[in-house]
Amino acid sequence: MNLMKVDGYQAKIEYDEETDLFRGEILGISGGADFYGSTPDELRHEFKKSLEVFLEVCKEQGIEPRKQYSGKFNLRIPPELHEKLAMTAEVQGKSLNTLAQEALQRSVAA
């Protein structure tokens, strides 16, 4: 995944064939904010401008700019996989939650 970071915020970067520009979308925010640029420098500049505008609007409207996460989510998997995961966790002396947490942490660290 192509990510760009500015002031503690991250954006997913993709090429938009229709406009022949790179498009960035700021991640983890309460709303939508995107930006375009033809070079990495231009894209970073537009990211900063878009972020500034977004943060100003949030301030004016009393909105928390970053999404809030509870730390909980539901995961639907096939029963057979659930059984295998539960057995694997038991063999390793871990809870299913700990086993899943470790696997998810490895995934985002890669």
High-pLDDT (> 90) share of the chain, %: 95
- Contact 26/51 with Cβ under 8 angstroms? yes
Gap between the Cα atoms of 110 and 107, Å rounded? 5
Gap between the Cα atoms of 101 and 25, Å rounded? 27
Is there a single domain that holds both residue 54 and residue 102? Answer: no
Q: Is the pLDDT assigned to residue 87 strictly greater than 90?
A: yes
Q: For residue 73, give every residue at least 6 positions away whose Cβ sits within 8 Å of its Cβ, in sequence order, or none.
A: none
110 band by pLDDT with thresholds 50, 70 and 90: confident
pTM: 0.77
In-domain check, residue 70: no
Give the chain's domain count: 2
Domain limits at 84?
Answer: 79-109
In-domain check, residue 69: no
- Contact 26/50 with Cβ under 8 angstroms? yes
In-domain check, residue 97: yes
Gap between the Cα atoms of 103 and 91, Å rounded? 16
In-domain check, residue 100: yes
Q: What is the pLDDT of residue 58?
A: 95
* Per-residue pLDDT tens over the stretch 58-74: 999 999 999 999 999 99
